[in-house]
């Protein structure tokens, strides 16, 4: 079974440089400061790279995206991402990232749920694999302070123990990376609260790995006592570092994980 894991495509508004404050609203206009600082240039061709990933996904049995589909959680960005991912319908599992949950006015943004309604279930099953989702972004996320929270870990532990999943390769999907490439913690304003407990629950529940993104680096940290393996896909469409993981699964285990570059 071949699984393609990518993350953080960050599809952005076409012609974002010409959008006015009035059109974007104050919060999104504030968020474009990051784009102007260089991030926008890094993702000018994000949509084209996402199309390339989708073409590669044709050869995979299943495809996983661990969040941050958009830059500003803007309706147009979601529509573009949705359209690009359409060829993978039926073999795609997506979760939301913090960038997908920037509020609209004072209200939580439900555009992810509107554009990807079929991804609301907590466990997705593919051939021999159970993909268990844990939302670390919450209903509302803000620009700049992008901390995540690993909650409902008791429910995760119970799901991992479920007899219906035994014999399958169990993979936990989160957006926020529970550790860095060197095994240490992330920067406080960018990190995942509850990371240590998540790593332990996943290990005790015999999860083969935690798949994540958020940290824009691609790495694979092996399991250790009381700590599950972590595979981070980084940002799959970022200029100069576009790529994804190709994960082979056999007999309920990860047989290999290989990085592919675009």
Give the count of residues interacting with Fe ion (CB under 5 A).
Answer: 5
CA 79-81-85 angle, 5° bins? 115
Decide if residue 8 touches Fe ion (CB under 5 A): yes
Shortest Cβ distance from residue 87 to Fe ion (Å)? 23
Smallest gap, in angstroms, from Cβ of residue 9 to Fe ion?
9
The dihedral built from the CA positions of residue 236, 237, 240 and 243, taken in this order, carries a sign that is positive
- What's the closest the beta carbon of residue 64 comes to Fe ion, in angstroms? 15
Instruction: In angstroms, give the least distance from the CB of 68 to Fe ion.
Output: 4
**Which 53-72 residues touch Fe ion, going by CB under 5 A?**
68
What is the signed CA dihedral for 198, 246, 10, 125, rounded to 10 degrees?
-60
CB of residue 255 to Fe ion, shortest distance in Å: 28
| Spacing of C-alpha 8 from chain mean position | 6
Q: Which is nearer to Fe ion, 6 or 221 (CB)?
A: 6
Strands 2-6 and 62-65: parallel
φ, ψ of residue 107 in degrees (nearest 5): -105, 150
Q: How far is the CB of 153 from Fe ion (least distance, A)?
A: 20
For residue 101, state whether it binds Fe ion (rule: CB under 5 A).
no
Q: Which of 9, 40, 57, 97 binds Fe ion (CB under 5 A)?
A: 97
Tokens of 236: 């799959």
**Residue 143 binds to Fe ion (criterion: CB under 5 A):** no
Of 39 and 227, the one with the shorter C-beta distance to Fe ion is 39
Give the number of residues written for the chain: 262
The 176-215 contact track toward Fe ion, x by CB under 5 A, reads --------------------------------------x-
CB 172 within 8 A of CB 210: yes
Does residue 49 touch Fe ion according to CB under 5 A? no
Residue closer to Fe ion by CB (options 98, 109) is 98
Spatial contact of 147 and 191, defined as CB atoms under 8 Å apart: yes
Q: Give yes or no for a contact between 97 and 67, defined as CB atoms under 8 angstroms apart.
A: yes
Contacting residues toward Fe ion, per CB under 5 A: 8, 68, 97-98, 214
């Amino acid at each position: 079974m071949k699984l393609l894991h990518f993350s953080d495509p960050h599809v952005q508004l076409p012609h974002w440089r010409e959008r006015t404050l009035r059109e974007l609203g104050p919060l999104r206009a504030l968020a474009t400061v990051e784009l102007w600082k260089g991030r926008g240039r890094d993702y000018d061709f994000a949509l084209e790279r996402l199309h390339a990933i989708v073409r590669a996904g044709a050869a995979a049995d299943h495809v996983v995206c661990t969040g941050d589909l958009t830059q500003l959680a803007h309706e147009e960005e979601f529509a573009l991402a949705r359209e690009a991912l359409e060829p993978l319908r039926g073999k795609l599992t997506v979760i939301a990232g913090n960038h997908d949950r920037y509020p609209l006015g004072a209200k939580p943004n439900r555009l992810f749920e509107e554009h990807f309604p079929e991804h609301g279930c907590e466990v997705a099953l593919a051939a021999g694999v159970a993909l268990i989702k844990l939302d670390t972004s919450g209903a509302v996320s803000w620009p700049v302070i992008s901390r995540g929270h690993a909650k409902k870990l008791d429910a995760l532990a119970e799901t991992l123990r479920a007899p219906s999943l035994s014999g399958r390769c169990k993979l936990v999907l989160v957006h926020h990376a529970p550790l860095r490439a060197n095994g240490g913690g992330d920067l406080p304003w960018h990190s995942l609260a509850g990371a240590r407990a998540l790593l332990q629950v996943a290990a005790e529940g015999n999860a083969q790995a935690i798949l994540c993104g958020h940290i824009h680096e691609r790495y694979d940290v092996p399991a250790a006592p009381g700590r599950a393996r972590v595979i981070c896909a980084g940002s799959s469409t970022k200029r100069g570092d576009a790529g994804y993981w190709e994960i082979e699964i056999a007999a309920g285990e990860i047989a290999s994980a290989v990085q592919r570059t675009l």
